[in-house]
Amino acid sequence: MSIPDLVLVGSGGAAAEIVGYLDDLRRAGTPVGRVAGFLGPSRESYEQHRNRYGYEANYLGHPDTYDYPSCYAYVVAFAQPGPKLELLKRLLPMGLEFPSIIHPTAMLAGSARLGQGNIVGPHCLIGPACRIGDFNLLTAYSFISHDCELGSFNFLSSSGLSGSACLGDANFLGIRATLLPGVCVGSHNVIQAGMIVDKDLGDRETVFYKFKEKIQIIQPEGH
């Protein structure tokens, strides 16, 4: 696998992590091109991110007005499924290249199949016979167990699918949210952090705790 020169769409925290993944791939011996620049809402916001994350490349323009030359490949470097879907409705007909970025510590079964533009973070696990669509972002330690089906444009924040589960498109899974074996979830859902989904869901639903437990703090003696 080799990765050509890249333009990242987005420059926030997700983009900073992806730049780190690219550095790790280079250290692991994967041929990776340079980051040619970043797209974002304004030069001012980019400069703030540049100062915070130490980016070397320049700001290239707004995603809505950039020319998208074919000499570069492109990485959608932000998490929100809805805006990602809307952006790619415009970009996909252009025939651009969208490589998948897979961290060298991720473990992918040989029978798993991934589409284009996926970001797979450190120590992720993708099991046998999984079918994964396009432009999903899996942060560190996410897992997709055997025989799962994952659509496109999903964001998994250190969360996962147990065996034979299925997830549609443009879903947001908070930290450690988990689909139990065989559960099927539709599209455009929000599953809050820590939720264990044990039944099928449709579309555009939100799963959260109705009542939050009170957090108690036990102070050391003498305080």
- pLDDT per residue, tens digit, the chain (223 aa), is 789 999 999 999 999 999 999 999 999 999 999 999 999 999 999 999 999 999 999 999 999 999 999 999 999 999 999 999 999 999 999 999 999 999 999 999 999 999 999 999 999 999 999 999 999 999 999 999 999 999 999 999 999 999 999 999 999 999 999 999 999 999 999 999 999 999 999 999 999 876 556 555 566 776 5
pTM over 0.85: yes
Q: What's the Cα-to-Cα distance from 131 to each of 3, 38, 66, 94, 223, rounded to whole Å?
A: 22, 30, 33, 25, 55
Q: Are residues 109 and 154 in the same domain?
A: yes
The answer to whether residues 108 and 192 belong to one domain is: yes
57/108 same-domain check: no
Structural domain including 157 reads: 100-208
Sequence-ordered alpha helix ranges (H) in 28-161: 43-53, 81-91
Strand partners, 51: none
Q: Do 66 and 106 lie in a common domain?
A: no
Domain annotation covers residue 214? no
131 and 42 belong to one structural domain: no
How many alpha carbons lie under 13 Å from residue 202 in its C-beta half-sphere? 3
Please say which residue of 94, 118, 145 terminates a domain: 94
